[in-house]
């Protein structure tokens, strides 16, 4: 199993999930290029580069018949790879992501201000993070933040992810060519696909979920109550509970 985080995220969003699934799978949770402990890249962050990285990782370890689990942009990466290499993917879980976003999410994105790139204190960063996430426990949100930021020699706290990732909006859910590409992938994939949606997230509308079901008979979806976009941080145990049956990972 390979788990891939979302934009500006990190591999530790999967900690609870990976620990449970490790009795059923050999789990790899990746810090994708420019994120977490991985190097900032010199050849950009186009979606194709992430998919090439995934392919190189699987080739280097001779992985086959792999379950791919991806949150947000990690879900896009999983869909694209499975479209290119259908025989090497056993199943897919995509978390709170779709070929396109809801109309509500479009409006929210247009009104959202830029993320601050530095904080004077860890508690300042925590307070900013809490403003956008009322669902995660205090302990889990602090753990998530501790993996996202690092204290610089000047005493300030900054994101581990490449600052370039915060300065450029993702074209994937805006560019019609990207959107059409993801719908083609979804329609063509023949392995089982599970969508796990955060019930409090506005990214996916019921209409989009229904369109995804019509696009692929192997697609099913489930909601996690009380979770926003990063379901595995907001409700880690609930995420495990709703994915066990799909993965054949019973206690």
Q: Which of 202, 160, 189, 228 is nearest to 89 (CA)?
A: 189
Reported as a pLDDT band with limits 50, 70 and 90, residue 168 is: confident
Q: List the helix and strand counts (H, then E) for the chain.
A: 11, 9
77, 181 contact by CB (below 8 A): no
Mean predicted lDDT score pLDDT of the chain: 97
- The Cα–Cα gap between 205 and 251 comes to 32
β-sheet with 149-151: strand ranges across: 118-119, 157-159, 149-151
Instruction: Supply 247's token pair.
Output: 């993965």
pLDDT digits (tens, 9 = 90+) for 176-224: 999 999 999 999 999 999 999 999 999 999 999 999 999 999 999 999 9
Q: What is the pLDDT of residue 23?
A: 97
Q: What is the pLDDT of residue 251?
A: 85
- Percent of all residues in the chain with a pLDDT value above 70, rounded to a whole number: 100
**pLDDT over threshold 90, residue 110:** no
194, 243 contact by CB (below 8 A): yes
pLDDT digits (tens, 9 = 90+) for 154-163: 999 999 999 9
| Separation in Å, CA 123 to CA 142, 148, 149, 161 | 9, 13, 12, 19
| Separation in Å, CA 87 to CA 43, 47, 84, 190 | 29, 21, 9, 9
Check residue 169 and give left, alpha or beta (phi > 0: left; psi -120 to 50: alpha): beta
**Mean pLDDT for the stretch of residues 114-139:** 97
pLDDT digits (tens, 9 = 90+) for 14-71: 999 999 999 999 999 999 999 999 999 999 999 999 999 999 999 999 999 999 999 9
Q: What is the pLDDT of residue 16?
A: 98
**pLDDT over threshold 90, residue 169:** no
Q: What is the pLDDT of residue 129?
A: 98
Q: What is the pLDDT of residue 194?
A: 98
Q: Which of 101, 79, 102 is nearest to 92 (CA)?
A: 79
Q: At what angle do helices 138-148 and 122-131 cross, to 10 degrees?
A: 120
Instruction: Supply 55's token pair.
Output: 């392919």
Reported as a pLDDT band with limits 50, 70 and 90, residue 112 is: confident
Instruction: Supply 239's token pair.
Output: 């995420």
Check residue 155 and give left, alpha or beta (phi > 0: left; psi -120 to 50: alpha): left
């Amino acid at each position: 199993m390979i788990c891939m985080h979302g934009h500006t995220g990190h591999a530790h969003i999967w900690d609870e999930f990976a620990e449970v699934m490790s009795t059923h799978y050999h789990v790899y949770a990746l810090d994708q290029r420019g994120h977490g402990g991985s190097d900032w890249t010199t050849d950009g962050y186009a979606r194709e580069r992430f998919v090439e990285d995934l392919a190189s990782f699987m080739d280097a370890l001779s992985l086959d018949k792999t379950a791919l689990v991806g949150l947000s942009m990690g879900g896009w990466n999983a869909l694209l790879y499975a479209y290119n290499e259908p025989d090497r993917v056993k199943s897919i879980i995509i978390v709170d992501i779709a070929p396109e976003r809801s109309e509500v999410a479009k409006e929210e994105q247009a009104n959202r201000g830029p993320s601050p790139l530095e904080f004077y204190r860890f508690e300042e960063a925590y307070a900013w993070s809490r403003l956008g996430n009322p669902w995660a426990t205090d302990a889990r949100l602090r753990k998530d933040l501790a993996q996202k930021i690092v204290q610089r020699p000047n005493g300030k706290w900054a994101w581990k992810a490449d600052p370039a990732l915060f300065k450029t909006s993702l074209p994937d859910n805006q560019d019609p060519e990207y959107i059409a590409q993801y719908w083609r992938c979804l329609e063509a994939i023949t392995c089982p696909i599970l969508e796990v949606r955060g019930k409090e997230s506005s990214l996916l509308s019921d209409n989009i979920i229904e369109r995804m079901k019509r696009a692929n008979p192997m697609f099913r979806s489930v909601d996690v109550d009380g979770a926003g976009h990063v379901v595995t941080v907001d409700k880690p145990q609930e995420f495990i509970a709703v994915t066990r049956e799909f993965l054949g990972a019973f206690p």
